[in-house]
Amino acid sequence: MSKKICVIGLGYIGLPTAVMFANHGIQVHGVDINENAVKMIQNKQLHIEEPGLQERLNSAIDSGKFTVSTTPEEADVFIIAVPSPINEDKTANLDYVRDATKSIVPYVRKGNLVVLESTVPPRTVEDVMLPILKETNLEIGTELFVSHSPERVIPGRIFEELTNNDRIVGGINEESSRLTAELYKTFVKGTIHITDATTAELVKVIENTYRDVNIAFANELAKISEKIGVNVWEAIRLANFHPRVNIHLPGPGVGGHCIAVDPWFLVELQPELAKIISLARHTNDSMPEYTALKIKQILENENIYHGRVAVFGLAFKGNVDDMRESPSLEVIHHLEKLGFDYTAYDPHIKENKVERQTQQIEEAVAHADIIAILTDHNEFKTMNPEKIASLVRTKIILDTKNCIDRNEWEKHGFQVFLLGDGKNTLK
């Protein structure tokens, strides 16, 4: 087992991974360029929300196994878990991966292992990282070992998945893979599958692309269902009883830093070939505008023009506090373009991040003509329609995630609309 690990990047993946190793008795040094995040972590405060993280951070720091700063330290293993976003033009932005790799060069010693966990376009380890690591003057593959072991955990269930998911390990050679597999055996209970670095990079990207294409299919079905008078949620539920069918669910768009981003890596590599992938991205990106137009249509049918929309949910998905690439922001953008007044409410986003956000649900629904649920937070599933009914101006609710009890809301006088429910729209 390794003696010391240095984790570069203490975000949604790096921090849970670091505390996981520390709580398994390994000395871990965590590094982040965000000084505020470093200070918070040193004081056992979280800069991200994740179930189970607080307790684990407390014990990692209390045990003395986890230290944090803004600069790397010498270690046996370096794990890089930094963002790999896309630029405005949808091309991969590998600046963080490059900078993180450069930052460890002065600290890397003979016999060390460097593991990239960030999701990256295939060939990044070979073409971007290795040239930088050669600056250590160590011979790659015999004196310095390198691999890609992509993180595959889902926010909200990170610890369960870190432990139980299978893990892909792609070394630049056999010894790199062997050392990496041994490292993750510290806490991984799933199977560790060994391959080469570039295949591992592709595996990770196609997992997320599969999901994006499947969601785009569901969104297309939602649009079709609205035209032909069918409830798509019911249709998908029934289709999925087939043993070989697993259709995902529609919604107001695809957010997060992974699924809405990674497919573009393949489009950039092979634009002529990645046709379905590109179309799926555009389909999913069309959903926020579609949702805003649906709101407009619902209100105009009630002769309400430019009314007030209470946007419920700013996080990119339920029960997380992460707003990266959130479709809600796009929906708001389109509502503004269409001339709507809006308020925004999200019990998981504790500091106001958009202009008309409020922390009070009462304020959010005051004088609202429609409540638009864009994120399936538990708090929204269990809202009390009776209380809300007394506060709104017009009793209309649009559920884009099929997450509220329609009958309950109807009982309290609400007209309930559901994205992808043609029965309801054609009524």
Residues serving a catalytic function are: 204, 258
**Exposed/middle/buried for residue 214 (C-beta within 10 Å: 0-12, 13-18, 19+):** middle
Q: Report the site for ligand SAJ in 114-133 (rule: CB under 6 A).
A: 119
Helices (H), ranges, 120-173: 124, 130-133, 158-164
Choose one: 41-49, 102-110, 138-146, 256-264; the region binding ligand SAJ (CB under 6 A): 256-264
- Compute the least distance from the CB of residue 374 to ligand SAJ, in Å: 9
Q: Which two tokens stand for residue 325?
A: 């690439």
> Which range of residues in 233-241, 253-261, 362-370, 391-399 is near ligand SAJ by CB under 6 A?
253-261
CB of residue 390 to ligand SAJ, shortest distance in Å: 30
Handedness of CA 72, 76, 81, 86 (dihedral sign): positive
Strands across the sheet containing 370-373: 341-345, 308-312, 370-373, 396-399, 415-418
The reply on whether position 256 binds ligand SAJ by CB under 6 A is yes
Per CB under 6 A, 208 contacts ligand SAJ: yes
Kindly state whether residue 316 participates in binding ligand SAJ, applying the rule CB under 6 A: yes
Contact yes or no for 63/22 (Cβ under 8 A):
yes
Q: Which of residues 138-177 bind ligand SAJ (CB under 6 A)?
A: 151-155
Nearer to ligand SAJ, 61 or 81 (CB): 81
Check binding of 414 to ligand SAJ (CB under 6 A). no
CB contact burial 240-270 (16+ within 10 A = b; e otherwise): eeeeeeebbbbbbbbbbbbbbbbbbbbbbee
DSSP state of 426: H
Of residues 74, 207, 285, 410, which one binds ligand SAJ by CB under 6 A?
Answer: 207
Region 30-89 residues binding ligand SAJ, contact defined as CB under 6 A:
none
Instruction: Using the minimum distance from each CB to ligand SAJ, give the nearer residue, 145 or 159.
Output: 159
Is position 9 an interface residue for ligand SAJ (rule: CB under 6 A)?
Answer: no
| 96 lies in the site for ligand SAJ, by CB under 6 A | no
261/247 Cα distance (integer angstroms)? 21
Evaluate whether 56 touches 23 at the Cβ level (below 8 Å).
yes
Figure out which of the listed residues 4, 90, 157, 211 binds ligand SAJ, where binding follows CB under 6 A: 211
- DSSP letter string over 228-267? HT-BHHHHHHHHTTSTT-------S---SSSTTTHHHHHH
Q: Which is nearer to ligand SAJ, 96 or 414 (CB)?
A: 96
Binding site for ligand SAJ (CB under 6 A): 119, 151-155, 207-208, 211, 215, 248-249, 251, 254-256, 258-259, 316-317
